[in-house]
Amino acid sequence: MGFKKYSAKKDPHSTVDFGRIWGDNPDTGEKGWLSENEEIISSVWLISSSKEEIPTLVEASQGNGISVDKKSTAIWLEGGTAGFSYNLTNRIETNLTRKEDATGIVVVEEK
């Protein structure tokens, strides 16, 4: 199963959360990447930009960001440069030793 690449907008002065649902989505009924008894045991977020050597969009808080049911992940972001786009990749590992990356785009713009 593949993930749709998403695009989200963020103001450079805001601190907001972004996340990824890896299990089944109860709101849409969409089947998730995780199998029924599979859980996320580690989650790392990577931020990159083609316009900045060191991205100004950064993680606002430390922590693993794994939900209580271990089926979704989250990160709090702050900063970024207006007019720039950033790749936001979530790299997970599961209790079944499977590993996967999913990447989305965060566009920073003044609101």
pLDDT tens-place string over residues 23-36: 998 888 999 999 99
Establish if 52 belongs to a structural domain: yes
pLDDT value, residue 1 = 45
pLDDT tens-place string over residues 62-81: 667 999 999 999 999 999 99
> How many domains would you assign to the chain?
1
The DSSP code sequence of the chain is -PPPPPEEEE-TT-EEEEEEE-S--TTT-PPPSS-TT--EEEEEEEEE-SS-SS-SEEESS-S--B-TTSSEEEEEEEE--TT-EEEEEEEEEETTS-EEEEEEEEEE---
pLDDT value, residue 79 = 97
Amino acid in position 18:
F
The residue range of the domain holding 52 is 13-108
Establish if 26 belongs to a structural domain: yes
pLDDT over 80 at 6, yes or no: no
